[in-house]
Amino acid sequence: MSMDNFRIPDKAIEFEALFAQMSENKKDDLDWKRGRAFCLVYYPGEEKEELIRKAYNMYFTENALNPMVFPSLRKMENEVVAMVANLLHGDEGVRGSFTSGGTESILMAIKSARDYMAKTKPEITVPEMILPATAHPTFAKAIKYFGVKGVYVEADKNYCASPKNIEAAITENTILIVASATSYPHGVLDPIKEIGKIAKERALLFHVDACIGGFMLPFVEIITNKEMPFDFRAEGVTSISIDIHKYGYAAKGASVVLYRTAELRKHQFTVYTDWPGGIYGSLTMVGSRPGGTVAAAWATLMGIGMDGYLDMAKKTWGATQLIKEYINQSTDLILMGEPAMTIVAFSSKTIDIFELADELSIKGWHFERLCEPAGIHLTISQIHEQYMSEFIADLDQGIKQVQANTIKQITNKIKVGVMRRLVQVLPEGLIAKIQSSFSGKAAVKSDRIAPIYGMLGVLRGTEDMDEIVLDLLDKLNTPSPKK
Ligand SMILES: Cc1ncc(COP(=O)(O)O)c(C=O)c1O
């Protein structure tokens, strides 16, 4: 395909026509304003969003790369990090950085851990990081980027990290333990206190990934009047990642990585003083940074306040209780683990959960499909207070539809069975098939993809599967031919 079709227009397009085209293009996107997104989007409502947009736009052009030039940005950035550290019970020794998201926060924490331990324990040449199988894939990225060996340990039957398994995996090369507060797939809280104790006793670093839970757990503690010391209250915790652009409701591109000591954070920074262009110092992965994300995060924290967050957390908690009650009384659905806050995952022993997922997708809902064991994941946010009853009604109807649809289920089972055999003899043909199913728009939008998920379960964790996903990423990130 020639890129000639994608020339920058010789003559600028009228702005009005452009916006009309963009609105038209958006028509197929997910309807998050009607609560259809059980992941990806955190919408605080119109009034708050207006505040966040305004703050973003005030710093739309400024670059947060050089803190000397925009002292107002530096002040806001430092205050955001300090407010977040305070939320997570950090003392005056705690230091942190503002980053572009959970991924960057985690990457920075692992890089700092690696470099800090290289200095303090130089005898370790192949550093190891122990992490539960449920840890976010960003840690797999860090393993690939930073040459740290990942030692994955099985979670317990409630999908929580197992201190016993972690302890058993410690070797003389271990530098770091990872746990989640909460985990993304099942929304369960790993036993941070117990793991922290192990880390402290064995003089290891311990990172808590609170990207998803950091702005929800503190409010659930207030709502339930039950302490969940997942943060710096737990001894042994040496770093934490926490996203403001998730349950903090800030504009996308806002997260914080915190360290228990300034010494640990220093290993995150990059300094290069031998450049003809001048002395270069950089805090995190990125160079130029949008001033807007910093300003918007600051305005979000200040403009929502603890009372605003508590109010939104109560709505979210209420919606979570509704779906949990529905699942608990259902004879078809099973709650996966014990959700610590407002993420719920469920599976089924009586029906094919991916068939049910298809029914819900067709009705316009968007959520995650979990593998091994198969399940449906919902990240509930404040907007779902208005839409949970509608979702439950569709869920109820979806279960009945799947039960009535036994013939289709049998057909799908046969398809999966055939594919299982094909995997053994014809992986390339299978790969082509799966790719074409996935790259079609219908499959991504709300077509029935249960059989594909069945097949993917067979290939999970294999090199074939990696190849399929690599090709898929390539396809999705190449423009489609213009009509
Ligand atoms: C627990 C956890 N860690 C890390 C991340 C990565 O965050 P981001 O997508 O902001 O890079 C996520 C995202 O959902 C998450 O849930």
Residue 125 pLDDT > 90, yes or no?
Answer: yes
CA–centroid distance, 185 to ligand 1, in Å, is 11
CB 120 within 8 A of CB 110: no
C-beta separation of 180 from 132 below 8 A: yes
Q: Which of 212, 247, 284 to mutate to test the pocket of ligand 1 (most atoms within 8 A of CB)?
A: 212
With beta carbons less than 8 A apart as the criterion, state whether 376 and 367 touch. yes
C-alpha to C-alpha distance for 337 and 317, rounded to whole angstroms: 17
Closest atom of ligand 1 to CA, residue 245: 10
Number of Cβ within a 10 Å radius of residue 91: 9
Q: What residue segments make up the domains of the chain, in order of their start? A: 55-301
Question: What is the tens place of the pLDDT at every residue in 130-171?
Answer: 999 999 999 999 999 999 999 999 999 999 999 999 999 999
Q: Which residues contact 200 (CB under 8 A, 6 or more apart)?
A: 206, 235, 236
Q: Which of 85-89, 371-375, 417-421 reaches the highest mean pLDDT?
A: 85-89
Which residue, 144, 132, 112, 141, is CA-closest to 179? 132
The atom number, within ligand 1, closest to the CA of 243 reads 10
Closest CA to 161 of 148, 152, 171, 149: 152
Tell me what percent of the residues of the chain surpass a pLDDT of 70: 90
Query: pLDDT digit string (tens) for 410-420?
Result: 666 666 665 55
CATH of 55-301, one of 3.30.70.240, 1.20.120.1200, 3.60.150.10, 3.40.640.10: 3.40.640.10
Residue 161's beta-bridge partner residues? 155
**pLDDT tens-digit map of 216-254:** 999 999 999 999 999 999 999 999 999 999 999 999 999
Q: What angle in degrees, to the nearest 10, is found between the helix axes of 353-362 and 406-425?
A: 110
Q: Exposure of 271 by Cβ count < 10 A (0-12 exposed, 13-18 middle, 19+ buried)?
A: exposed
- The per-residue pLDDT for 367 is 97
Q: What is the mean pLDDT of the chain?
A: 91
Q: Which pTM value belongs to this model?
A: 0.91
The helix or strand, by DSSP H or E, that contains position 97, with its residue range, turns out to be: strand 95-99
- Whole-number Å distance between alpha carbons of 196 and 15: 55
Ligand 1: which atom is nearest the Cα of residue 183?
1
Does 180 sit in the ligand 1 pocket, CB within 6 Å? yes
Ligand 1 neighbourhood includes 101 CB (under 6 angstroms): yes
Q: Contact 202/175 with Cβ under 8 angstroms?
A: no
CB 230 within 8 A of CB 189: yes
pLDDT tens sequence across 306-346 = 999 999 999 999 999 999 999 999 999 999 999 999 999 99
Q: What's the token pair of residue 343? A: 């993420």
Confidence of residue 449 (pLDDT cuts 50, 70, 90): confident
| d(C-alpha 60, C-alpha 52), whole Å | 12
Is the beta carbon of 401 within 6 A of some atom in ligand 1?
no
- For 332, phi and psi rounded to 5 degrees? -105, -30
Count of other CB atoms within 10 angstroms of residue 129: 26
Rounding to the nearest 10 degrees, give the CA dihedral for residues 151, 152, 156, 158. Answer: 140
The span from the CA of 91 to the CA of 97, in Å, is: 15
From the CA of 39, give the closest atom in ligand 1. 14
